[in-house]
């Protein structure tokens, strides 16, 4: 790991469990951390505050960067940005197998979100001289989201090699996906081992200070902590 000393990595940070665990992995790998947060008009605005707190925790608030991409807000089409579309509760995604889940793209899909995030992160990484970009996609995400699949990530790396000066010069920026093959329980186990500040994160699609405990995202998170044998440190507002 020592060979990453003085090397820089851009971490796409949402303030959720997965991306915050990526901060832990990148730190453990010895990188200087450059967290990059996107404000894409998501309803769960609390993510922005959480991501800032995570950057503070890791001592890199001076390098914390938020990029506003709220043009999707007024266009809509996703439950994550469009207030007219309800966030689904209990769709049972946590019980689906991958094949089942792949057949349905959730309403929480934001068009080509990770593609935008990675393209912007590429430009930022090249500008600051970073060699790697961390993104917290994992097996559960690509149940349904086309831009989380491993073949998508691999193809973006090919584009990055062609799109950048460093790529053309033979030192392309890499995309690191340390969570890609992990279950939520594995992610929690690794994160707890690395001291990731889960108390500062939020995963709830509804974006309130207290997580709902009922949306797909909360259900997956709680299941992950439970299977890992840990207690989720954030408060939940449980109905009935």
Out of 147, 190, 216, 232, the residue judged to bind a copy of itself by CB under 8 A: 147
Check binding of 155 to a copy of itself (CB under 8 A).
yes
For the record, the structure tokens of 194 come out as 């690395």
Contact assessment for residue 213 and residue 43, using Cβ atoms and an 8 Å cutoff: no
Out of 105, 171, 208, 233, the residue judged to bind a copy of itself by CB under 8 A: 105
Check binding of 104 to a copy of itself (CB under 8 A).
no
Element (H, E) at 100: helix 98-102
Nearest-approach distance from CB 63 to a copy of itself, in angstroms: 11
Site string for a copy of itself, 72-101 (x = CB under 8 A): x--xxx------------------------
Check binding of 172 to a copy of itself (CB under 8 A).
no
Contact assessment for residue 65 and residue 36, using Cβ atoms and an 8 Å cutoff: yes
Instruction: Determine phi and psi for 134, rounding to 5 degrees.
Output: -100, 135
What distance in Å separates the CA atoms of residue 146 and residue 192, rounded to the nearest whole number? 29
Size of interface with a copy of itself, in residues (CB under 8 A)? 43
Is 21 known to sit in a ligand binding site?
yes
Out of 25, 58, 134, 152, the residue judged to bind a copy of itself by CB under 8 A: 152
Rg value, the chain, Cα: 17
Interior/surface letters 192-205, b for 16+ CB within 10 angstroms, e for the rest? beeebbbebbbbbb
Is 148 known to sit in a ligand binding site?
no
What distance in Å separates the CA atoms of residue 201 and residue 223, rounded to the nearest whole number? 16
Whichever of 122 and 138 has its CB closer to a copy of itself, that residue is: 122
Out of 48, 85, 96, 120, the residue judged to bind a copy of itself by CB under 8 A: 120
Check binding of 160 to a copy of itself (CB under 8 A).
yes
Find the part of the chain contacting a copy of itself (CB under 8 A) among 44-52, 116-124, 178-186, 189-197. Answer: 116-124
Contact assessment for residue 5 and residue 32, using Cβ atoms and an 8 Å cutoff: no
How deeply is 34 buried, as exposed, middle or buried, from its count of CB atoms within 10 A (0-12, 13-18, 19+)?
buried
Which residues of this chain interact with a copy of itself, rule CB under 8 A?
Answer: 65, 67-69, 71-72, 75-77, 105, 109-116, 118-120, 122-124, 126-128, 146-147, 149, 151-152, 155-156, 158-160, 162-165, 167-168
Q: Which residues line the annotated binding site for ATP?
A: 13-23
């Amino acid at each position: 790991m020592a060979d990453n000393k003085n090397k820089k990595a851009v971490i796409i940070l949402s303030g959720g469990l997965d991306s915050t665990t990526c901060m832990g992995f990148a730190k453990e790998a010895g990188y200087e951390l450059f967290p990059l947060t996107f404000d894409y008009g998501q309803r769960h605005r609390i993510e922005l505050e959480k991501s800032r707190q995570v950057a503070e925790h890791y001592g890199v608030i001076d390098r914390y960067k938020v990029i506003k991409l709220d043009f999707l807000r007024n266009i809509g089409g996703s439950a994550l940005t469009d207030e007219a579309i309800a966030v689904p509760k209990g769709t049972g995604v946590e019980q689906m197998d991958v094949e089942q889940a792949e057949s349905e793209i959730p309403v929480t899909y934001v068009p080509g979100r990770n593609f935008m995030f990675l393209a912007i992160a590429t430009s930022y990484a090249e500008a600051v001289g970073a060699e790697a970009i961390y993104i917290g996609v994992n097996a559960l995400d690509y149940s349904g989201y086309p831009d989380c699949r491993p073949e998508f990530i691999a193809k973006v790396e090919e584009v990055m090699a062609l799109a950048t000066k460093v790529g053309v010069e033979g030192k392309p920026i890499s995309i690191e996906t340390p969570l890609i093959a992990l279950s939520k329980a594995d992610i929690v186990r690794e994160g707890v081992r690395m001291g990731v500040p889960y108390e500062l994160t939020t995963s709830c699609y509804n974006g309130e200070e207290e997580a709902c405990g009922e949306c797909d995202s909360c259900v997956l998170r709680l299941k992950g902590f439970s299977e890992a044998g840990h207690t989720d440190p954030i408060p939940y507002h449980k109905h009935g």
